Amino acid sequence: MGRLPSLRSAPAIRPPWCRALASAVAALALGGCAQFPELDRAISPQARAAPAPRIEPLGPLLAEPGAGQAEIARDETLARAEALRAAGAALAGQAPDPQAQERIAERRRRLAAERAALSE
Domain ranges of the chain: 70-120
Query: With contact defined as beta carbons under 8 Å apart, do 110 and 118 qualify?
Result: no
Q: Which of 27, 31, 7, 8 is nearest to 19 (CA)?
A: 27
Which amino acid, one-letter code, is at 14? Answer: R
pLDDT tens-place string over residues 11-24: 667 777 888 888 89
Which amino acid, one-letter code, is at 66? Answer: G
pTM for the predicted model, two decimal places: 0.28
pLDDT of residue 34 exceeding 70, the answer is yes
Query: With contact defined as beta carbons under 8 Å apart, do 104 and 96 qualify?
Result: yes
pLDDT tens-place string over residues 56-91: 888 887 777 765 677 778 888 999 999 999 988 888
